[in-house]
């Protein structure tokens, strides 16, 4: 399973990547903002899951989610948003845009594991 991790913080990408690897996921792509993520998605047709930050330069996570969901082929792609934006209004906005699950930073590896299992059914 190929997972695309998008965050402008290289430290956060490393934390998420390390956690995913410990859960047995070795096939991981990284992008530092939505523009790079979109480019990787168009190059790799086999991305199964998108894990994205919200606040990023160039194209933020919410814009990325809307762009992804606007494409018919990505309608069912599981998307998890990992962000410091933990307010109720933000969560609702993200869910309306098409996010399947939501993680507020800081988070534990167990939370990422549970949310990933949740979106994978």
Residues that bind Mg ion (CB under 5 A): 8, 53, 55-56
The three-class DSSP label of residue 9 is coil
CB of 85 to Mg ion, least distance (A): 10
**For 105, what's the count of Cα atoms within 13 Å in the CB-facing half-sphere?**
16
CB nearer Mg ion, residue 20 or residue 62: 62
Q: What are phi and psi of 6, to 5 degrees?
A: -120, 120
Task: Considering the complex, state which of residue 28 and residue 31 has its C-beta at the smaller distance from Mg ion.
Answer: 31
Q: Cβ of residue 77: shortest distance to Mg ion, in angstroms?
A: 21
Question: What b-and-e string marks burial along 13-51, b requiring 16 or more CB atoms within 10 Å of the CB?
Answer: bebbbebbeeeebeebbbbbbbbbbbebbeeeeebebbb
Q: Closest CB to Mg ion belongs to which residue?
A: 55
To Mg ion, the closest distance from the beta carbon of 24 in angstroms equals 26
- Whose Cβ is closer to Mg ion: residue 41's or residue 64's? 64
């Amino acid at each position: 399973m190929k997972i695309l991790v998008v965050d402008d913080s290289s430290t956060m990408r490393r934390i998420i990547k390390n956690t995913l690897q410990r859960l047995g996921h070795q096939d991981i792509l990284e992008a530092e903002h939505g523009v790079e993520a979109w480019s990787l998605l168009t190059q790799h047709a086999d991305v199964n899951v998108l894990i994205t930050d919200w606040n990023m330069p160039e194209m933020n996570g919410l814009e990325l989610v809307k762009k992804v969901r606007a494409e018919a082929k990505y309608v069912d792609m599981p998307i998890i948003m990992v962000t410091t934006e933990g307010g109720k209004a933000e969560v609702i906005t993200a869910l309306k845009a098409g996010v399947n699950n939501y993680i507020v930073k800081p988070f534990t590896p167990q939370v990422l594991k549970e949310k990933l299992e949740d979106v994978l059914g």
